Amino acid sequence: MTRDPRYDILFEPVRIGPLVARNRFYQVPHCNGMGYRDASALAAMRGMKAEGGWAVVCTEMVEIHHTADVAPYVELRLWSDQDIPMLARIAGSIHAHGGLAGIELCHSGYTANNLWTREVPIAASPMPTASYFNDPVQARGMDKEDIRNLRRAHRKAALRAREAGFDLIYVYAGHGLGIFQHFLSRATNFRTDEYGGSLANRARLLREVIEDTKDAVGGSCAVPVRIAMHEFQGAAGLEPAEVEDAIAMMAELPDLWDLSLSDWSKDSQTSRFAEEGFQEPHIRGVKKLTSKPVVGVGRYTSPDTMVRVIRQGIMDMIGAARPSIADPFLPRKIEEGRLDDIRECIGCNVCVTHDYTMTPLRCTQNPAMGEEWRRGWHPETIRPREADGHVLIIGAGPAGLEAGRALGQRGYRVTIADKASEPGGRVSRESRLPGLSAWARVRDWRLLQLRKLPNVSLYLESDMSAETAVETGADHILVTTGATWLRQLTGRYFTAPIAFAAACDVLTPDDLMAGKRPGARDVVLFDDDHYYMGGVLAELLVKEDYQVTLVTPAAVASAYTKASLEQKAIQARLLKLGVKIIANQAVAGLFPDHVTLSCVFSGAETALAAGAAVLVTSRQPDDGLWRALVQQGVATSRAGDCFGPGTIAAAVHAGRRFAEEFGLPPRDFLELPFRREVTALS
């Protein structure tokens, strides 16, 4: 297939200072939970992006000094010459596939707690530090000597980055995480000297560091600036008009402007709260201020939208983090005319959650993400089968579809059967809930790929028993029949079952997704799952005119979504819709006209009137068919929620893992199924 001429503009080269990018695809810096701990895995992941056609591939934030320590988060470090070989491996991996390597040098100011180094944090002005854990730490205000030392540290880090082989060396003033943004913003700069007060004064340090970096490495490296266009704090913080004024003051100084929003939750909004291109209103005014290339993001997956923002003069290069994670080969697929092969980002932010949990990056759409080095997986290729074989997969949910697709790609004959009238399993059900329609892409992409594989067949409305499964004559049977939400209080708070006899109308998420509704208008929703499901079901019911009270043992609604950057947005929406939220309480009993609440601190119980209850507690694997097959001595396996209920991303990964490992000799339980990097002691 050949490229559609409409998209030729996306493949024009772009000059960035002394460099030329081969096209307009720019993987902006993004975190990944690997950092200095998993350097080889990180290098392989970045190299995969370059192989997929991204002209520029950048690191995550890189701490420039031991006073920039953001532990426990695992980012990259460039504290000394010892860090150069690790970073050189990353740059080399990008260069091996023709990409330009960018590095985001960062000092996080008052958002670096220095918990590992035990240094006193520094800031534009004295203030408590900002952290996920609200650490009891305060940052001291910087004096003139501190500012001079910060400039020296940044310059030295730039020189080390050039030595490591990087082509683009960032000055970072974005996401509320860069100290140069802290100086620029009235929300964090209360100084009265030449570095505070007027916009020109607040922008002084940013200008000085750009000049320092250009002087140090500008002859051979490009110097981009990543800047926050909006802090969403009203006049107390940065707004687009003021940031545009700051950019105009130094419009031609850097080699590229990389535009973002602040904080990170605004910059990486989920599809539940923002559409593709959501940043455009905040960044569209910058291009007219500078002749230098402008990069922006907006979870772009449509090449038509990419062309539009280029032609409208909003940006010169298409920045992407999450779309490059979902499909590292997005540029090549556009170039080769394979648009239907693009794995579009669903905007769920499961990738972000693993930076917060300090664990390797993963993706719902792309199960190979983070596994390029650890397991040797490739997002586009997989080894061919070693022998002929027929695999029957029972269950066409995310695990079953991915396993069938990958096994089919390997060359096996695959039959997928599902008792439902539509494929997709939980993905189809959940994508009909408020705000989750983009999640259907997980199903749709796999169905499209399956249609291209003549050796894979899909049969719906096929309720398989152990006997009928065996009658197919398959060499191996994979059971991916999912899991069922419990109609019980058993979950994280109450780990043992609690019996209840006479109770109000009790429903589960499965009931609501199947179309059943409470028999009473006053509903208590008990969320002991803490991810998206409780909040989205509360939204569903309140929009249908139910009076909803969300009860949670956590301190906030949908507590885990702090890690996906959407908890505040979820709680704000629920409150606006009229959902009452009762935190730090557990539903301990169910009765015909009320529920009993138990305080998580004191255990004190109170009654709450309710005619119906929705229990979002825990799930039980639907593994009865697998157990029946095992009893018959059939060659069988299970994967996905049927094996261990988890996220959709975990189910997709399980399907890919089964396909990758099928046909290999059995692995001993004591043998690691992946590689890991272990520090060599000197």
Give the catalytic positions in this structure.
31, 172, 175, 267
Greatest alpha-carbon pair distance for the chain in Å reads 83
Please report, as a single letter, which amino acid is at residue 307.
V
Nearest in space to 26 (alpha carbons), one of 248, 283, 257: 257
Q: CA distances (Å), 538 to each of 13, 497, 524, 564, 577, in order?
A: 49, 24, 9, 19, 10
CA distance 532 to 574: 12
Alpha carbon 3 to its chain's center: 29
- Give DSSP secondary structure letters for 643-679: TS---HHHHHHHHHHHHHHTTSPPPPTTS-SS----P
CB within 8 A of 505, min separation 6: which ones?
A: 518, 519, 520, 611, 612, 613
CA distance 35 to 358: 9
Residue whose entry in the numeric block shows the structure tokens 């030295």:
156
CA angle 280, 284, 285 (to 5 degrees): 150
Assign 3-class secondary structure to 40-105: HHHHHHHHHHHHCCCCEEEEEEEECCCCCCCCCCCCEECCCHHHHHHHHHHHHHHHCCCCEEEEEE
- Give DSSP secondary structure letters for 333-382: HHHTT-GGG--------HHHHHHHTTS----SS-TTTT-TTTT---SS--
- Name the DSSP letter for residue 142: P
Token pair listed for 479: 């059971």
Element (H, E) at 156: helix 144-163
In b/e form, how buried is each residue of 376-403, taking b as 16+ CB within 10 angstroms?
ebebbebeeeeeebebbbbbbbbbbbbb
Alpha carbon 561 to its chain's center: 11
CA distance 230 to 227: 9
Do the Cβ atoms of 419 and 464 come closer than 8 Å?
Answer: yes
CA distance 55 to 251: 23
- Name the DSSP letter for residue 494: B
- Name the DSSP letter for residue 248: H
Residue whose entry in the numeric block shows the structure tokens 């990964």:
653
Please report, as a single letter, which amino acid is at residue 135.
D
In b/e form, how buried is each residue of 330-360, taking b as 16+ CB within 10 angstroms?
bbbbbbeeebebbbbbbbbbbbbbbbbeebb
Residue whose entry in the numeric block shows the structure tokens 């990069």:
295
Region of residue 197 (phi > 0: left; psi between -120 and 50: alpha; otherwise: beta): left
Q: Are strands 168-169 and 100-106 parallel, antiparallel or unpaired?
A: parallel
Do the Cβ atoms of 280 and 299 come closer than 8 Å?
Answer: no
